[in-house]
Structure 1
Amino acid sequence: WDVVEHGYSARKTMLILQLWMTSVEFVMLGAGLLVGYLTVQSGAMTVGAVTGAMLMLIRLRGPLMGLMRVLDTIQSGYASLARIAGVVVNPPQPTKPAGAPPKEGHVEVHDVSFSYGQGWAVEDVSLSIDPGKTVAVVGASGAGKTTVAALLAGLRVPDSGTVKVDGVEVTSLSDSERVARLAMVSQEVHVFSGTLREDLSLAQPEATDDEMIAVLDRVNADWFHQLADGLDTVVGAQGLQLEPVAAQQLALARVMLLNPRVVVMDEATAEAGSQGAQSLQDAAEELAKDRAALVVAHRLDQASRADEILVMDNGRVVERGTHAQLLEFDGRYQQLWTAWQRGRQ
């Protein structure tokens, strides 16, 4: 609501300035016409000279409006500078190493509850994932799936309960300890402006060209081999604009280079569409191999391949089991699966 009020105040200020500009322009032109009439009547100026003077007055509007736009830009720049200065002056304090054991990828979520301020977003959620196993989370929008993913990734701190990776609380891991163990791929990925090599090396600066090409092949990025410049191809805002499927494959390739023991995929294949769905699904399964994987599944055929499925509703886990077990149970998952199959047909 504060954003709405500030936005309304800004628009109102611009409207008032615009009205003042229009009023001043009206008075200025009216005065110019009156003075011009009197000077022409007295013979002090010709009609042509008065017309030229009036045209000059009219042209004053452009620079004045330009000044208003510059002031608006200066204010936006000042706000941006304040944010940058705030980060520089008061940077986030690094977390001290927690003394975590060698990375293996054991995940334990025990009785976790979390609230955004009004009611529980997730309540009493428990799950465990061993290395090489995949757990899928399904449910309607607002069921709490993404919140569970954020809690496991350490992006949120639970109000109660524990989230542990290799026996250590996720939120107590240092940056280096967390990066070595855990990575998250969301539905919204970013292609950084630069060469493909630079984009991939963000995950592993020491990676060789052969290693980069190998991970691109593992995520089915066939489009890479059609690039004339290969890894030197400039992508992002200043270069080649990658299609959504290609951008998602690039994000998955970066995670493979990072080589964490736990991966969290929050609807990482949701933007694939019908043409790229299978390609991205295969890439996601390749990424999950030999790792503990939590998958927030948008496509139920992706969930059906998981070792365990959690069905969430209103922040709680209402069903859990394999795909076959849940279909036999004839509950919420069976309803979702039937609706999914009907939609595909």
Structure 2
Amino acid sequence: MNERFPVADRNQVRQALWRLIKLERSAVAGLLVLYLAAAVVGVAAPVLLGEIVDRVSAGDGGVDVLAGLIVASIAAQLVLVRYSRYVGHRFGERALARMREQFVDRILKLPLSKVERAGTGDLMTRNSLDVSTVGTMLRDAIPEIFISLVNAAIILAAVFYLHPLLGLCVFLMVPTVYAGTRWYLKRARDGYLAEGDANTELTETLAATADGARTLEIHRMESERVAAGAETIRHAYKTRRYTLFLRSILFPSLDGSYPLPIAGMLIVGGVLYFNDAISLGVIVAATMLSRQFVEPFDMVLLWVEKLQLGNASLARVEGVGLVEGNGKARDAEPDGDRLKASDVYYTYDGDRDVLHGVSLDVTPGERLAMVGPSGAGKSTLGRILAGIDAPRSGDIALGGVPVTKLPLERLRGLIMLVTQEHHVFRGTLRDNLALADESATDAKMLGALSVVNADWVNDLPEGLDTELGNDTLELDAAQAQQLALARVVLADPHTVILDEATSMLDPTVARHAESALAAALAGRTVIAIAHRLHTAHDAQRVAVIENGRLVELGSHGELTAAGGSYAALWHSWRGDSKN
């Protein structure tokens, strides 16, 4: 069962939005001025039209000038609204860019164990669909709501200025609008969060199916996987249909409310007019303003739906920053390079331990090999020693400081775990090597490749500038592994944990690569999780892991002479039965 990343609460989402706005104070101030100017100019036309009606009724002239002013006010409003939306969209794009950068930064600081347990689908959905939805909110929803609120406020003030009783008629729609909106908002956040989770589950299912397509074909499990996919699609459809149901209740309730202010103004205005309390022009102007008020008010409520969707997505995006250990720096500094495990227990599911009381003291500069049968817990112990996973109980300390107390960037510069799985990023070979050391010269990069016997680099058409990727040059598994080992040489950590890091290489090439890597890492601590026992033969000490326990520890000679588990593994690997 995957452990989803957390979701930010309402207060945390508001704080995140406020931080984005504070970074653009000048832009927001300019937007407010533009919105106010556009709103003020927008009420001019109805007021001037009412004046025309009064002048015509009184038989006065000068309506041509007023008509010209109406045309000018409409043109000015168009220009101001167009420019304010342009500025608003620029603000939204800048805010979105900052949020994307922050999101990527948080992802890179996430503990690897948290990412693995959450599953790639959750992270992919938040990084794509949720970020895109938040972008719509920042670029479109917030500026449009801001414009509409300012317009509505100015229009309402103008109606009250014309006559307070006519202004009160605007509030005739408040009861139905309030009831419909309150009903919607009580359910919208949870509904959109559920929709986001369903999309995550769907992404994970489709990605797992695509990645394991060949395995599914071999075991003839296509129908079961199709059924699982269909179930996740049904669940996603159900959550999407629920949010659509919410909108189908909200929008009709709003549309039925908008005629009420106009009807009220015509009735109240008619009574006042026949009692000579107001002029016909005031009624016309107020009615037009009331009709004009509906547009920004409707726009606000229309974008509320997008705002709720964006709010839920922002809660999921911000939730990545709430992962325990994300970017939390500590002041602890190791006193030396000694790596020590003390009575370590570890469980994956919270129920059954896979490591049982393991204690191991690795001295600086030592070459230690960890061996044992498959599933014994070697790789798990290697991940814990590297600080990727935290023990359930016990402690892993580097220089007397628990590795879980070290900032992630600092820890990765001290201890490096190299596994069988290696990723080649799209870009040049130089870009891929620079991930380990941005300041490395070409000579240093080529030297690192030479250390791991990556002779294929000499045949590349453009050397270090050769593009790597599916549509250019795709490295095979052995070449990708050599690239990963070259990164180790460039990164130059003081402790390297090799989890069968040369398993993809030809045995002869692997032997040379391990020898060359050992020479390059001379003076540094090397912990090799090995399935080829020549690695253990060359190590200073060998740790034998069985059933999650450290059962033997000593040099190759000592352990073979002892005739225990390691001796049995050694003779079995060599294919003989003699001591």
Task: Judge same fold: TM > 0.5, yes or no.
Answer: yes
User: Is 1:203 aligned to 2:436, yes or no?
Assistant: yes
User: Is 1:180 aligned to 2:413, yes or no?
Assistant: yes
The residue type paired with residue 227 of structure 2 is: Y
Change (3 A) 1:212 1:311: same
Change (3 A) 1:86 1:205: farther
Q: Shift of the alpha carbon at 1:128? A: 1.6
Residue in structure 2 matched with residue 233 of structure 1 by the alignment: 466
Q: Is 2:451–2:517's contact at 8 Å kept on the other side of the alignment? A: no
Q: Alignment RMSD, CA only?
A: 2.7
Residue in structure 2 matched with residue 86 of structure 1 by the alignment: 316
User: Is 1:8 aligned to 2:218, yes or no?
Assistant: no
Residue in structure 2 matched with residue 251 of structure 1 by the alignment: 484
The residue type paired with residue 556 of structure 2 is: H
User: Is 1:213 aligned to 2:446, yes or no?
Assistant: yes
**Whole-Å separation in 1 of the counterparts to 2:500 and 2:429:** 24
Residue in structure 2 matched with residue 36 of structure 1 by the alignment: none
Contiguous gaps of at least 5 residues in structure 1: 16-81
Residue in structure 1 matched with residue 10 of structure 2 by the alignment: none
| 1:247-276: CA deviation from partner (whole Å, max 9, x where unpaired) | 111101112111111111111112223353
Q: Is 1:245–1:280's contact at 8 Å kept on the other side of the alignment? A: no
Does the residue aligned with 2:569 lie in a helix, a strand or coil?
helix
Q: Is 2:451–2:513's contact at 8 Å kept on the other side of the alignment? A: no
Residue 347 of structure 2 is aligned with which of 111, 115, 118? 115
User: Is 1:282 aligned to 2:515, yes or no?
Assistant: yes
Within a 5 Å distance, the mapping from 1:1-345 to structure 2 comes to: 8-11=227-230, 86-87=316-317, 90-91=320-321, 92=323, 93-101=326-334, 104-116=336-348, 117-342=350-575
Change (3 A) 1:201 1:120: same
TM-score (norm 1): 0.73
**Whole-Å separation in 1 of the counterparts to 2:405 and 2:399:** 12
**Whole-Å separation in 2 of the counterparts to 1:342 and 1:289:** 31
**Whole-Å separation in 2 of the counterparts to 1:203 and 1:122:** 31
Q: Which has the higher Rg, Structure 1 or Structure 2?
A: 2
Change (3 A) 1:272 1:13: closer
**Whole-Å separation in 1 of the counterparts to 2:531 and 2:230:** 39
Change (3 A) 1:171 1:87: farther
Q: Is 1:95–1:172's contact at 8 Å kept on the other side of the alignment? A: no
| 1:162-212: CA deviation from partner (whole Å, max 9, x where unpaired) | 101122111110022112211110011111111110000111111111111
| 1:64-96: CA deviation from partner (whole Å, max 9, x where unpaired) | xxxxxxxxxxxxxxxxxx999835553243121
Greater alpha carbon shift after TM alignment, 271-280 vs 175-184 = 271-280
**Whole-Å separation in 2 of the counterparts to 1:84 and 1:291:** 44
The residue type paired with residue 306 of structure 1 is: A
**Whole-Å separation in 1 of the counterparts to 2:505 and 2:523:** 24
The residue type paired with residue 156 of structure 1 is: D
Q: Is 1:105–1:166's contact at 8 Å kept on the other side of the alignment? A: yes
Higher RCO (C-alpha under 8 Å, 6+ residues apart): 1
Change (3 A) 1:321 1:99: same
Change (3 A) 1:227 1:130: same
The residue type paired with residue 529 of structure 2 is: V
Q: Shift of the alpha carbon at 1:9? A: 4.5
Change (3 A) 1:287 1:9: same
**Whole-Å separation in 2 of the counterparts to 1:290 and 1:84:** 48
| 1:98-154: CA deviation from partner (whole Å, max 9, x where unpaired) | 33147x422111111111233221111111222221111110011110110010111
| 1:262-313: CA deviation from partner (whole Å, max 9, x where unpaired) | 1111111122233532233224423542111111111111111111101111
Q: Is 1:105–1:291's contact at 8 Å kept on the other side of the alignment? A: no
Q: Shift of the alpha carbon at 1:334? A: 1.0
Q: Shift of the alpha carbon at 1:244? A: 2.1
Contiguous gaps of at least 5 residues in structure 2: 3-200, 206-223, 235-311
Greater alpha carbon shift after TM alignment, 318-327 vs 3-12 = 3-12
| Structure holding more strand per residue | 1
Q: Shift of the alpha carbon at 1:324? A: 0.7
| 1:51-70: CA deviation from partner (whole Å, max 9, x where unpaired) | xxxxxxxxxxxxxxxxxxxx
**Whole-Å separation in 2 of the counterparts to 1:11 and 1:128:** 51
Q: Is 1:96–1:174's contact at 8 Å kept on the other side of the alignment? A: yes
The residue type paired with residue 384 of structure 2 is: L
Q: Shift of the alpha carbon at 1:337? A: 0.9
Q: Is 2:489–2:521's contact at 8 Å kept on the other side of the alignment? A: no
The residue type paired with residue 372 of structure 2 is: G
Q: Shift of the alpha carbon at 1:332? A: 0.7
Change (3 A) 1:210 1:110: same
Does the residue aligned with 1:304 lie in a helix, a strand or coil?
helix
Q: Is 2:332–2:405's contact at 8 Å kept on the other side of the alignment? A: no
| Structure holding more helix per residue | 2
Q: Is 1:139–1:145's contact at 8 Å kept on the other side of the alignment? A: yes
Residue in structure 1 matched with residue 194 of structure 2 by the alignment: none
TM-score (norm 2): 0.45
Change (3 A) 1:83 1:159: farther
Change (3 A) 1:88 1:222: farther
The residue type paired with residue 494 of structure 2 is: R
